[in-house]
Structure 1
Amino acid sequence: LKTIIVEIPINSPIGGNVCKRVTPRLVAQISNSKAALDTLDILAEISVRFGSLLTQDMNKQTQNALLPLLGHPRPAVRKRTTVAIGNLVMHTNDELFDELVKRLLVELNKSADSKEKLRTLIQCVGALSRFSAPRLGAYLGQILPLVIKYTQTDNDDELRENCLQALESFVLRCPTEITPYITQIVQLCLEYLKYDPNYADDNNYDEEKEVEDNVEDEIMEEDEEDEGEEGEVEDYSDDDDISWKVRRSASKVLSAIIGTRGELLAQLYQQVAPALIGRFKEREESVRVDVLQTFIVLLRQTLVTAGDFAHDSADIDLTGEETTKRRRGAGGPSVIPMDTEERLVTKINQLANFEAAMCLSVHHLAFKYPPPHSPKQLLRNQVSRLSRALSKQLVSKSTQTRQTGFTLLRELVTVLHGGLENHIGLFIPAIESSLSTATAEQHHIGTNSNLKIETLTFLRQLFKTHPAVVFHKHLRRLCTPVITSVQDKFYKITAEAFLVCIELIKVIRPIEYDRTSQSYNVQLLNPEFKPYITQIYTVTMQRLSTPDADQEVKERSIMCLGALLSQAGDELAAKQHTAFNVLLERLRNEITRLTTVKTLTLVANSPVCTGDEIKRTVLEAVDDVAVLLRKSNRQLKVASLSCLEVLVKRYGKFLDPQSFTNLLTELRPLISDADLHLLPLSLTTVVSILHANPGSSLIIKNDILPSVFRLVQSPLIQGAALDSLLTLFAALVRTNAQDYSLLVGGLVEPVANDKQVQLAVSKQS
């Protein structure tokens, strides 16, 4: 019967017959103990699929039949009854719902001596909050004191777990009604987060005493070795100990509070964060991972709540532009650069608008000197303790703990845009061991791969968010495992390792762009670091020469080669010929041309990659890139236009006139208002051509200007498109002042013609 009901479509008219004919018979035989389990399953399925077709009289009969089963001696029957009631209340009216809740409250008050019945009643209340939270919220003032009271009942960890699970559901689904009780719930959860009656441990974490730290290390290592076996402490059996479920439930309640109460973030950092850090040493792996996940929720909530104060750094690529980044899965705001105080003062002085200057200064100084009790500052104050506690877990045997730990670190450096400058050394051993080849003990290859990927993802973010100089003393231990990971057999590890290598190259040879002087600050490569550049180049070329490489690996290897040439092209002078030939080959490959175009743009902007080889490459590539403007792939068009602009600006004086003619021919179809994103790029490229080769002005006047004059009449031209249009007119006049009359005439003619037409119409009327 259940199979038949499951197969009936929800919108089928047969559903009405099922409700009329089957439901009454099921309710009638629900008291039959032999068929109770199956009957409850079918009733729950009918409520889910056809509950809206049930009459309120039928709902009342069903509810009255289900309630007595909450006291059934069989746990399975009680559990399925709870599920059936939860599915039923979605379709009952307010009168039936009120009656149900009142009966549950009566039972909760008089069942204090029956632990099994209490557990079922608490589970039922939790189910009501999941299926009908708005209506249950009205009774939360009566329910919560009882739940909190039973949470503190002695010698019943299962009841305590059920109560905490109900509290978690209330926090998530009744946010308004639960507000007066949040502080009390937090205190309750902090108490049970460390609830471990069968294990003797000092919960007072003293971060100042190294002796105590060492003792904790020894205890933690012994616990991890004994995990899952007969416990040696207090002569108890892990199999009989379920207190870990209480600690895990308490952690989940705290996670729910953190995720829904951004306004309490400062308070949570003062009360909850230290307790979570203290429980990183949790002996039960599942609880330890949950505690780490709860702290991750705290970090992500900080990123969301921080607003504009989340901005303090940006990648400065070799074009001198700021590349904003969205943090993954976090939903955080984009990132803008954090200026030094001197540059900030310069900016303020240059701003004509005093109000804008004040806003800028307040924004940047508030980030550099945040309020002492702001969430981010409170987090910074705990980084030292967090680092020491977490570094111990990252070298444990538990792969899941290590993976979650690296996720936590990644979120930490994302929120603070750094913060580990003084603690990086603590994590070097964990990074080395996590990126090493799986040993005989680490036989779960899939799990080990996930750990490697998470470690590499953290490393990439670590390199992005910290000054290069803080890594220099650790490069010997960092470079080898990262470069080795590029050669991993699993393509996802290789692809992520290439991204880390790109950031690692920037650490080995940082190049900074000074916006004040509009110049690059290029430092000589430390001779000790040159072998790392060579090693990265070698493994990159090996991957590029592999014909059956994964698409993602191909793209990342091209990007890595571009980073090598743009950051250390002068150190790879002897290898430039081979490297640029590979880029040209990839440019002509349909699969890799988009990535190659972007890479070529980066390399062409480099202040250190100069000489005959790049000049030769540009001269060969210009026509190939220009042809790509014909393709329908919009992303490829955007990348090609950006690339052409850079190539013409940097190497336009070496291009022959025919190349400029070909470029303008390909650009002409793009000079329209059909795509307002491509238009500014196209016009800017035309301006670059005009600057690089003033002789192209004749072709521009004949082929491009007619389209430009049509654009002037378009009502869509505004913003970047309008600015680019004005720049083009200015460039044309500067190139040849005699064209002034021609340009003015072209601009005035549409207006004059329009006036003549209007005059003719008025005369006819």
Structure 2
Amino acid sequence: MTDVLDTLIYLEVPRILSHRENIGDFLTKLGPLLISRFKEREDNVKWDIFHAYTALLSQIRSLIPNFSSITLQTDSEKGEGHESCGDVETVRIGGAILLKSAASHEQIAVLEALDAQVPMLVKAINKQLKTKTLKTKQCCFILLTQLLRAYPGALSDQLHLLVSGVASAMGDRSSNTNMKIDTLSFLSVALCSHPPEKLHPHMSVLVPLIVRAVGDSFYKVSAEALTVTLSLIRVLRPSHPSACLLDFTPFVSAIYDAVADKLKATDIDQEVKEKAITSTGLLIATFGDFLSDKASACLILLSSLVLDEILMRFQLPACLPILLERLRNEMTRLVTVKALTTIVNSPLKINLGAILPDIATLGLLDSLTTKYAHGGLDGEGMQKILAETPALVTELDLQISQLALNFVADMMATHPELIPECLSKLLSAFVLLSQSSLLQGATLTSALNLLDALMRNPVPNKPSLEELLDELTAPVFAHASLPRQAYHSISACTAVVASASDDLSKSSRLAKQLAQQLRSPDTTDGVRLFSLLTLGELGRKCPQVYENDPSLKYALIKLLKPELEHTKQRNSRPEELLVDAFNSSSEELKAAASYSLGMLAVGNLETFLPFLLKQISSQPKRQYLLLHALKEVIGSESVDARAMEFFRPRIEQIWPVLMEHAICPEEGTRNVVAECLGKLCLVHPESLLPRLKGCATSKNALMRASAVTAVKFLIVEQWTAADDMLQCAMAEFLQTVTDSDLNVRRVALVAFNSAAHNKPKLIRDLLDMFLPSLYAETVVKKELVREVEMGPFKHTVDDGLDLRKAAFEWYMYTLLETCLERLDVFEFMTHMESGLKDHHDIKLLTCLMLARLASLCPTQVLQRLDRLCEPLKAQLQSKTKANAVKQESDKQEELRRAALRAVLALHVHVPDAERQQQFAELLTMIRSSPELNALYQSVERDATHRSFTAESIMETD
């Protein structure tokens, strides 16, 4: 029987790892057989059996890579079977409630089969944990860890059977370090993946084991135990009060004692040191009230006893200076900042008075200003910090600038009396930053928030509205030309200051001044651009400026219509001023006028939208710019519910206008139309999505391209009402992947890349139907390759290159990550191999793809390794011509690095790769070449650094 089973394992395990599409059948048929043979007497066979079942679990994890995304909640108290939570249809499996809209039928079936096997599995493992063979115990914990990664919460009703095995593995003197690390890894996953109430009954056994492991002399065991401690703290006192049913007081002192010993030690490994700091931060943030109160009470009672010295270790002020000391050390600064931020963000208001004056880290200070708004941050220390802040507001580091701006804005709201001493330098730095082409996005938002805070809070000796505007706008008049983004930034700042002042008369005077600047013949293009943008920003942020001053309307309309100077056009409106700016010879002014017209409409939809639609219909030469203005209106986040109610009836007027321009020969115009169509469908999917689906089958290729491009803008990050309808229509849209028109196929791939990346559920069930068409686009098509004569030279043009790049990029960056369970990996690799021999850009893509595939499917890659080595070898051996220009040399260097990264990934992730002859020869060739070996070592160092950085971030988050 042993020989038969051994043979079965060696035959079936490769099949399990190679055919993910049959994982449900393998689990149902093979799983119970493997579990029944855990009692095998021959150790080697037993370990292979464990490996086979672990391989099954690994494939299930690949099938469901993000379990939380398909789960509504975990709750063992509700009934079994199918149920509905509101309008969301769900299905219960064990203690998990799965969203039927997010989980596929295959995922549900596999989880149900696995859940049914868990009791039998745990019972068999429990018996094996009582054996004396360390490797068998290790196999048990490795399997259980993989089980919880594939099916979090699987052991909710079985934990009591495993606790004694954990205690034995951790407490047995014969247990080696690997045994302890594997056991701790299991505990870490178990604590994270089960509800606290399921774990609380076992704390009296688990806490002493973990505390003892924290003090272990071997740094790897101690580091792993500190990782477990982070999860343990969250279990003992969950953030949700209703989940905290445990009296945690008997455990806190022991945990604090063990962690504090590691925190105070100076001669320990860096990893242990960092994890001790992180654990201390979470410990204080979670139990700070208990630790502080206990210390105070005990010190009063036992002040005359020798125990005072011991009890002082539980007093927070004694611990916080240690963290402050770690903050001054460059090696531990980052992790300490994150630990202190955790403490500050705690729902408990921890007394940080002992160290507040010395903390000068922006991210932490931002939290501190909110947490201690009414005391604790004033004083000389904070004055020094504020004095240093202006130097941090610079384009050299926008992330630091953003944090500095947020911090000062918060201080203006909570401690305005501390601002005056640094305000002058801060505004000078701010003005310099506003001239940067890099100031946009989140940093620009922080800059605008600071100005809003300055205007709305009682900051002593702050400049008046006029003085502040003069300082902010000075660069516009002092410099003949600024970066385009600078004009946008300064105009936004100007509008925010005017709006925050709540002085409508001064804001109106500002608008008149801007109008006069546009009117003056001596005005430079830069000032005109600034004036146009600011008029639009004012219309969005302060629309009352144009509503309450008819004389302003008249002044505005005259600016770009000089012939009206001596006529009385009392009913002229400001929107006409911006439309007339479309006649300018400057493309920048035209674009600014388009943006500003859209902003005017956003601020006052009822007044300006009808005008905009009329202009689109009556001004064919201006339609591209007018459509851009309409796009600003449709996509603006500032369109509120009331305005949207006005907007809905206008859709029937907007749609025909967009349809008319959806067949424009200019791709830029079609792209703007497509964005408008997609965003309109989000507003009213019931009536508009069927129309868009009809456009996808139009006889006009340009219309089909516009319709498919619109799908990309229908897919937003949040789930919307349009998603269910879009999922039903997705098959029709996907048909365009096989369109006869090359451009339609290209935009289809781009659009569905967006779907696969953001909402794979929309296309996952359709992949079997359309993957052959996708794979067909990865092949070089001779009919699309042509020669073009350029003087005496002939140049080869590949019209299918962009399409192939789109196809490779789609399933490289997207399907591989989001729909791996739907792919036949061997067919996938067949087409990937062709990419390794294609154009330079596609070679880069496929090298990155191969590196990712090596980590996701190492066993399948091993079976094709011989075929992958040859193109990689060719890339590494190729050389540029002697007379090659620097650009060609740089491209070749880039390709070599990409190939070496792929080789490194194969070496690291693919088991027994070096035993494969072709790969061994490839490594030998690299190591024997000084040039390639140096590059390979450089790539290896970069990979190690990235891995260490990522791990550090994950551990300290």
Query: TM-score normalised by the shorter chain: which range applies?
Result: 0.5 to 0.7
Q: Residues of 2 paired with 1:278 and 1:477: CA distance?
A: 30
Query: Cα–Cα, structure 1 residues 666 and 384, in superposed 2: closer, same or farther, change >3 Å?
Result: farther
User: Is 1:668–1:704's contact at 8 Å kept on the other side of the alignment?
Assistant: yes
What are the within-5 Å matches in structure 2 for residues 435-514 of structure 1?
435-439=170-174, 448-512=176-240
Q: Residues of 1 paired with 2:246 and 2:215: CA distance?
A: 26
Q: Residues of 2 paired with 1:682 and 1:557: CA distance?
A: 29
**C-alpha displacement at 1:601, in angstroms?**
1.2
Partner residue in 1 for 2:116: 381
Query: Cα–Cα, structure 1 residues 539 and 398, in superposed 2: closer, same or farther, change >3 Å?
Result: same
Partner residue in 1 for 2:365: 644
Q: Residues of 1 paired with 2:225 and 2:204: CA distance?
A: 17
User: Is 1:615–1:651's contact at 8 Å kept on the other side of the alignment?
Assistant: no
Which amino acid counterpart does residue 375 of structure 1 have in structure 2? V
Partner residue in 1 for 2:354: 616
Partner residue in 2 for 1:655: 377
| Deviates most, 530-539 or 272-281 | 272-281
Q: Which secondary structure does the structure 2 equivalent of 1:723 belong to?
A: helix
Q: Which secondary structure does the structure 2 equivalent of 1:531 belong to?
A: helix
Matched, 1:408 2:130: no
What are the within-5 Å matches in structure 2 for residues 727-746 of structure 1?
727-735=449-457, 740-742=465-467, 744-745=469-470
Q: Which secondary structure does the structure 1 equivalent of 2:150 belong to?
A: helix
**C-alpha displacement at 1:604, in angstroms?**
1.7
Q: Which secondary structure does the structure 1 equivalent of 2:154 belong to?
A: coil
Matched, 1:558 2:277: yes
Partner residue in 2 for 1:548: 267
Query: Cα–Cα, structure 1 residues 583 and 389, in superposed 2: closer, same or farther, change >3 Å?
Result: same
The Cα offsets for residues 544-580 of structure 1, whole Å up to 9 and x where unpaired, read as: 3434222222222222222221111111111223222
Percent of paired sites with the same residue: 31
What are the within-5 Å matches in structure 2 for residues 296-695 of structure 1?
296-311=54-69, 364=99, 366=101, 373-439=108-174, 448-512=176-240, 521=241, 526-527=246-247, 529-573=248-292, 574=295, 575-611=315-351, 614-617=352-355, 619-622=356-359, 626=360, 640-652=361-373, 653-695=375-417
Query: Cα–Cα, structure 1 residues 701 and 531, in superposed 2: closer, same or farther, change >3 Å?
Result: same
- Which TM-score applies when normalising by structure 1? 0.53
**C-alpha displacement at 1:524, in angstroms?**
7.4
Q: Residues of 1 paired with 2:324 and 2:332: CA distance?
A: 11
Q: Residues of 1 paired with 2:218 and 2:230: CA distance?
A: 19
**C-alpha displacement at 1:459, in angstroms?**
0.4
User: Is 1:309–1:367's contact at 8 Å kept on the other side of the alignment?
Assistant: no
User: Is 2:343–2:350's contact at 8 Å kept on the other side of the alignment?
Assistant: no
The Cα offsets for residues 288-307 of structure 1, whole Å up to 9 and x where unpaired, read as: 22222222232222222225
Q: Residues of 2 paired with 1:522 and 1:290: CA distance?
A: 44
The Cα offsets for residues 325-361 of structure 1, whole Å up to 9 and x where unpaired, read as: xxxxxxxxxxx9889999x999999xxxxxxxxxxxx
User: Is 2:238–2:244's contact at 8 Å kept on the other side of the alignment?
Assistant: no
Query: Cα–Cα, structure 1 residues 744 and 667, in superposed 2: closer, same or farther, change >3 Å?
Result: same
Query: Cα–Cα, structure 1 residues 295 and 616, in superposed 2: closer, same or farther, change >3 Å?
Result: same
- Which TM-score applies when normalising by structure 2? 0.43
**Structure 2 alignment gaps of length 5 or more:** 89-96, 296-314, 482-517, 529-583, 586-957
Which amino acid counterpart does residue 484 of structure 1 have in structure 2? R
**C-alpha displacement at 1:674, in angstroms?**
2.8
User: Is 1:732–1:739's contact at 8 Å kept on the other side of the alignment?
Assistant: no
Query: Cα–Cα, structure 1 residues 248 and 338, in superposed 2: closer, same or farther, change >3 Å?
Result: same
Q: Residues of 2 paired with 1:726 and 1:735: CA distance?
A: 14
Query: Cα–Cα, structure 1 residues 712 and 269, in superposed 2: closer, same or farther, change >3 Å?
Result: farther
**C-alpha displacement at 1:677, in angstroms?**
3.6
Q: Residues of 1 paired with 2:12 and 2:331: CA distance?
A: 48
Partner residue in 2 for 1:3: none
Pairwise CA RMSD of aligned residues?
3.8
**C-alpha displacement at 1:456, in angstroms?**
0.6
User: Of the candidates 693, 696, 715, which is equivalent to residue 437 of structure 2?
Assistant: 715
**C-alpha displacement at 1:310, in angstroms?**
4.7
The Cα offsets for residues 355-393 of structure 1, whole Å up to 9 and x where unpaired, read as: xxxxxxx99454699778532333223222222222222
The Cα offsets for residues 122-159 of structure 1, whole Å up to 9 and x where unpaired, read as: xxxxxxxxxxxxxxxxxxxxxxxxxxxxxxxxxxxxxx
User: Is 1:432–1:481's contact at 8 Å kept on the other side of the alignment?
Assistant: yes
The Cα offsets for residues 647-673 of structure 1, whole Å up to 9 and x where unpaired, read as: 222125322254333223433333233
Q: Residues of 2 paired with 1:255 and 1:610: CA distance?
A: 54
Partner residue in 2 for 1:23: none
Q: Which secondary structure does the structure 2 equivalent of 1:548 belong to?
A: coil
| Deviates most, 482-491 or 542-551 | 542-551
**C-alpha displacement at 1:430, in angstroms?**
0.9
Q: Residues of 2 paired with 1:607 and 1:455: CA distance?
A: 32
Q: Residues of 2 paired with 1:607 and 1:553: CA distance?
A: 27
Query: Cα–Cα, structure 1 residues 672 and 346, in superposed 2: closer, same or farther, change >3 Å?
Result: farther
Q: Which secondary structure does the structure 2 equivalent of 1:386 belong to?
A: helix
Partner residue in 2 for 1:5: none
Q: Residues of 2 paired with 1:731 and 1:363: CA distance?
A: 45
Which amino acid counterpart does residue 615 of structure 1 have in structure 2? G
Query: Cα–Cα, structure 1 residues 654 and 408, in superposed 2: closer, same or farther, change >3 Å?
Result: same
Query: Cα–Cα, structure 1 residues 691 and 479, in superposed 2: closer, same or farther, change >3 Å?
Result: same
User: Is 2:390–2:422's contact at 8 Å kept on the other side of the alignment?
Assistant: no
Partner residue in 2 for 1:251: 9
Q: Residues of 2 paired with 1:667 and 1:338: CA distance?
A: 46
Q: Residues of 1 paired with 2:358 and 2:107: CA distance?
A: 55
**C-alpha displacement at 1:406, in angstroms?**
0.9
Which amino acid counterpart does residue 277 of structure 2 have in structure 1? I
**C-alpha displacement at 1:681, in angstroms?**
2.7
| Deviates most, 577-586 or 641-650 | 577-586
Partner residue in 2 for 1:273: 31
What are the within-5 Å matches in structure 2 for residues 27-66 of structure 1?
none
User: Is 1:605–1:646's contact at 8 Å kept on the other side of the alignment?
Assistant: yes
Partner residue in 1 for 2:879: none
Q: Residues of 2 paired with 1:304 and 1:483: CA distance?
A: 34
Q: Residues of 2 paired with 1:255 and 1:731: CA distance?
A: 64
**C-alpha displacement at 1:455, in angstroms?**
0.5
Which amino acid counterpart does residue 255 of structure 2 have in structure 1? I
Q: Residues of 2 paired with 1:692 and 1:561: CA distance?
A: 29
Q: Residues of 1 paired with 2:26 and 2:372: CA distance?
A: 57
Runs (4+) of structure 1 exceeding 6 A deviation are 336-342, 344-349, 368-372, 522-525, 759-763
